[in-house]
Amino acid sequence: MKSTFVLATADSRLHADIMMIRLRRAGINIDRVSAVFSRRFVPNSFFFWLRRPRTLRSHTPGESYFAAGPLQKVIGKDDDVAAIRGKLRQLGFDHHAAEHFAQSLWLGHAVLCVQAKDADEAAIAWHIFSHSRAEMIAVSGQPTRRASVPAPDIALSHAWLPAVAA
């Protein structure tokens, strides 16, 4: 059976650590969890739980990225961080999700990934990411739901309000 990948963004070191701890407490095997992050965003949990992060090449001077966990194999040993979009598309993520996660890395956020063995484990990962308030969550093979942008509140003056018949 083909694995399902569940991706989420973490916008701070603490955020990534909290999600990692919650995944562990829920029984997700640590060998099924991956992360991609920049050097300036190294969460504490990744050096404790994830083994041997691989350095990814970057075309930005002074910037470096790491990949840890099973996602390293997908990215490949010779790839750089710019190839992440294409690799995510190969895993079954739509264009919007691939672009968003690549952009998140560029902004200094971490991307967490659970390689779920079945639908139940994917649902657990999605639930944890959702309740941890991940900015974006995507599941391979599923269309990405875009959050609707709330319309700005417009204070209408009384001149614009419809006249009420008495």
Matching residue, tokens 């991706």: 7
Distances in Å between the Cα of 54 and the Cα atoms of 21, 64, 116, 141 are: 22, 11, 22, 26
49-94 pLDDT tens trace: 666 666 666 766 667 787 888 887 777 665 666 778 888 888 888 8
Tell me 29's DSSP state. -
7, β-bridge pairs: 113, 138
Helix (H, G, I), strand (E, B) or coil at 131: helix
Which of 74-78, 114-118, 146-150 has the weakest average pLDDT? 146-150
Contact 41, 13 (CB under 8 A): yes
Which of 65 and 113 is assigned the larger pLDDT? 113
Binned at pLDDT 50, 70 and 90, residue 160 comes out as very low
Specify burial of residue 163 (Cβ count, 10 A radius: 0-12, 13-18, 19+). Answer: exposed
Give me the pLDDT at residue 163, please. Answer: 47
Q: How far is it, in rounded angstroms, from Cα 158 to Cα 92?
A: 52
80, β-bridge pairs: 57
Q: How far is it, in rounded angstroms, from Cα 82 to Cα 100?
A: 13
Which of 13-17, 132-136, 140-144 has the weakest average pLDDT? 140-144
Helix (H, G, I), strand (E, B) or coil at 126: helix
30-61 pLDDT tens trace: 889 888 887 777 766 666 666 666 666 676 66
